[in-house]
């Protein structure tokens, strides 16, 4: 495998956010005793672990109040998500499945780099029917900062699949400026996809090497990754 393509999940490959929001809400209430939502902070592109910490800090919780219960909070949240997800339709975004299919055929190593906690990410992928394409990932339960997640993904790709990163053969696709910055920090090529809440201009401004409106045109995405003419 001489290419690695890393994908963000929410609003890049799939859509379905209600169960995730509910899981945060229930976990804040049960573990920290606060009735709050993730909307009190700018959470776009943050990892789940980071969102929990930032929301609580905004509510004036101290590190010593947050940290001892953080693992328990993440465990509870994943359980709540699986319950809530039964009621939710989680769907792949247009073109996502076709792109993954094509990349798999071309023997590209595929991985997730998502802020979602690991059990939540796999559950979403499975519900959207995209799980057969992924062999590994790094998750919001692996690190607080997204920048660290990309670096861990490169390390895992080498250790588990023998992938040798040469500076040009790894790509990260994501829908927020934080995805782009995380990819750049790790030195991979970044492709901003404007299927979330940010425009191609905003993603470009964040430093994306390439930007696309969406994943609908498989040939166009492949052209970027394989440096082909469309
Ligand atoms: Mg996203």
State pLDDT tens for residues 70-84. Answer: 999 999 999 999 999
Give the model's pLDDT for residue 94.
97
The environment of the single-atom ion ligand 1, i.e. residues with CB closer than 5 A, is 8, 10-11, 175
216's tokens: 């609908």
Residues 196 and 150 in one domain: yes
Number of Cβ atoms within 10 Å of the Cβ of 140:
23
Question: What is the rounded CA–CA span in Å between residue 57 and residue 144?
Answer: 14
3-state secondary structure of 224: helix
Residues 56 and 124 in one domain: no
Of 33, 51, 85, which one is at a domain's C-terminal end?
Answer: 85
Residues 23 and 42 in one domain: yes
What are the beta bridge partners of residue 7? 112, 173
Residues 63 and 100 in one domain: no
Q: Using the predicted structure, report yes or no on whether residue 227 has a pLDDT greater than 90.
A: no
Question: What is the rounded CA–CA span in Å between residue 174 and residue 189?
Answer: 11
Of 85, 109, 135, which one is at a domain's C-terminal end?
Answer: 85
Banded pLDDT at 228 (limits 50, 70, 90): confident
**Number of domains observed in the structure of the chain:** 2
Say how many Å lie between the CA of residue 161 and the centre of ligand 1.
25
Say how many Å lie between the CA of residue 130 and the centre of ligand 1.
16
Residues 22 and 102 in one domain: no
Of 85, 112, 140, which one is at a domain's C-terminal end?
Answer: 85
Give the model's pLDDT for residue 16.
86
Give the domain range for residue 52: 18-85
Per-position DSSP letters for 42-73, written without gaps between them: --TT--HHHHHHHHHHHTT--HHHHGGGHHHH
Say how many Å lie between the CA of residue 177 and the centre of ligand 1.
10
Give the model's pLDDT for residue 47.
94
The percent of residues above 70 in pLDDT, for the chain, comes to 99
Residues 102 and 197 in one domain: yes
Say how many Å lie between the CA of residue 227 and the centre of ligand 1.
25
Q: Using the predicted structure, report yes or no on whether residue 230 has a pLDDT greater than 70.
A: no
The dihedral formed by the CA atoms of 25, 26, 31 and 36, expressed in degrees to the nearest 10: 30
Q: Where are the beta strands (DSSP E) in 82-184?
A: 91-92, 109-113, 136-138, 170-174
Per residue in 83-128, pLDDT (tens digit) is 999 999 999 999 999 999 999 999 999 999 999 999 999 999 999 9
């Amino acid at each position: 495998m001489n290419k690695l393509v890393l994908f963000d999940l929410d609003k890049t490959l799939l859509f379905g956010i209600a169960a995730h929001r509910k899981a945060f809400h229930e976990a804040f209430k049960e573990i920290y005793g606060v009735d709050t939502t993730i909307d009190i902070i700018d959470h776009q592109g943050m990892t789940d672990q980071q969102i929990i910490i930032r929301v609580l800090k905004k509510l004036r919780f101290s590190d010593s109040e947050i940290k001892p219960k953080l693992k328990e909070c993440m465990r509870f949240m994943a359980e709540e998500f699986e319950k809530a997800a039964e009621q939710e339709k989680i769907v792949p975004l247009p073109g996502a499945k076709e792109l993954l299919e094509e990349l798999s055929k071309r023997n590209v190593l595929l991985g997730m780099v998502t802020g979602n906690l690991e059990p939540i990410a796999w559950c979403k992928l499975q519900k959207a029917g995209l799980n057969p394409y992924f062999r590994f990932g790094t998750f919001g339960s692996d690190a607080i900062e997204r920048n660290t997640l990309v670096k861990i993904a490169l390390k895992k790709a080498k250790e588990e699949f023998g992938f040798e990163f040469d500076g040009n053969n790894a790509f990260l696709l994501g829908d927020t400026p934080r995805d782009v910055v995380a990819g750049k920090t790790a030195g991979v090529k970044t492709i901003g996809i404007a299927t979330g809440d940010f425009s191609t201009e905003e993603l470009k401004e964040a430093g994306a090497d390439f930007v696309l409106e969406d994943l609908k045109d498989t040939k166009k995405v492949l052209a970027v990754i394989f440096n082909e003419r469309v």
